[in-house]
Chain A
Amino acid sequence: MTTLPHDQLEPANSAAPTDGGGTYHDRYQPAHHFKSREHEFDAVKMGVWLLLSTEILLFAGLFVFYAIMRMKHPEAFVHGSSLLDWRWGLINTVVLLLSSFTAAASVRDAQLGRQGWLKVNLFLTFLFGGAFLAIKFIFEYLPKISEGKLPGIWYSYPNWVDANEPLWWGLYWGATTVHASHVIIGMGLYLWLLRRAYKRHFGPRHYNGVEGVALYWHIVDIVWIFLFPMLYLIH
């Protein structure tokens, strides 16, 4: 397994581009309250993990809601689920897995100082996020809106089998829109990373941003890994 050199070592990376007196990431100094870049890197990463744990707990609320409602109203959930097309769910799962791959690859590119590939992978991750949202909106949300498969007081779909189906749609819309809002936030972060990558902010000695956002993006992917079978595949 390849490892990065430690803080004390200079990056022995001949491929890393330099702009005369060194690029941003070569000259990067940690904030003054950190002992070293290593110290800062650890703190940043742990901070991101703490954020991710709150994200897991946010979605935990939705999972508990799912468990309760599924136990109380199994027929409503089974019929509600049969009204979703698992093929769109599958396509979106594949899209998100690909985006997770490009996100992981972008971290690797930053570590190796491959500026070109870094930009490509950041942009691809952004694009996959956009594709996920587009598929969701055009093929899933729009038809459901027009047929009144909506939560709570917006519900107007007549062909229910179990009268508790508005609860199912409440869960569907609640879970998928909270998840989609995370995708939107992640896409914004990737645009920000892309802008910074064009300024050569990231390299072997400094890639905290790429790493942190990738972690966030992976947790969004993991949430979808659970939402997909829970919403589309139960019967």
Chain B
Amino acid sequence: MAHAAHADGSQAHGSGHAAGHGAGHAHEHVIIPMRTLVTVLVLLMTFTGLTVLAANLEIIFATIFELKIPQYINVLVALSIAAVKSIIVAAYFMQLRYDNPLNTMIATFTILVLTFFLGFTMIDLGSRGTLYEYKAEQVIPGGIGGVAIAGGVQVPSNVSIAQFAREQADKKIEQMISEGTPLPKFLGVRLVHIVDELLAAKKPVPVAYAAYLAGKPELFKAAHAHGKDHTDAHGDDYGSAHSSSPDVSRVKTGITLPELVPAGAASGQDAPGRDAGPGTGPGGDDPDPK
């Protein structure tokens, strides 16, 4: 290629051309060599691997050496790698390195504005507690009740959307089990949690529930593996923070089925067992009445 020969391997000599075209045209159109593009791609892939590795290594180290690695380290490492990757993309793929400096100024100014947004928000959030501590009482965790959710269903005003979701799921589980319909996996996991909560509260478990869970060890596995991946790494951070959450009251050890199912109940004749179950009275389906 004719023009490929004359300037290979050297930067654009902007000043030399500026004399001919005036100060406004000091830059040239750079054709980035294929080798540079491939190098950039390989670098980006490496950094992607690195960020995944860092996140997973952190969990492994924390588990093996029983370290408590603070959360901000995880965030700092991940975002630093992301920043390096973005700078590489902007400098080479987006050609800012070879470009009119005005474009770099626009980009830098935008990033500056972004840090203002984040910085002032953090100053506000960080100091808000001292001023408005009392306002925390007004917050309903999990969304505001008293709204009509998707499907036109009305959420009671004293119940959050998240809590309402759980109550609706519990009702659905009860209905599906009484109809004999198999539950989708995530509802099966919820059923294990319901049983856990009942056991933790030392209440009898409905026989139909136990009968449904019999022979489905994978549900127990899924339910009890669930909160584990982070409680392992940062164990103590969570236990206390979750005092209000149903996850804490959960029985962590695996439940053996025989102790759940009263003798003879699993084989037929589950009607009396259901009547004996708690929370099946009129309107009292919530297994967790607090």
Contacts and interface: CB of A to CB of B under 8 A. Distances in A.
Interface in A29-74: 38, 41-42, 45-46, 49-50, 52-53, 56-57, 60-61, 63-64, 67-68, 71-72, 74
A82 B227 CA distance: 9
A38 B89 contact: no
Given A56-B110, A160-B166, A164-B141, A2 B4 contact: yes
B143 interface: yes
A93 interface: yes
B71 interface: yes
B55 interface: yes
B114 to A, nearest CB: 4
Which of the four size classes fits the interface of chain A?
35 or more
Contacts, number: 263
A94 B48 CA distance: 8
Contact of A218 (B81, B89, B190): B89
Main secondary structure of the interface of A (DSSP, over half): helix
B162 interface: yes
B3 A46 contact: no
A143 to B, nearest CB: 9
Interface residues of B, number: 100
Interface in B1-26: 1-4, 7-12, 17, 20-21, 24-25
Interface string A160-197: 11111111000000000000000000000000000000
A46 B102 contact: yes
Nearest to B136: A72
A118 interface: no
8 contacts: A1-B33, A4-B30, A53-B107, A157-B169, A163-B163, A218-B89, A222-B89, A229-B82
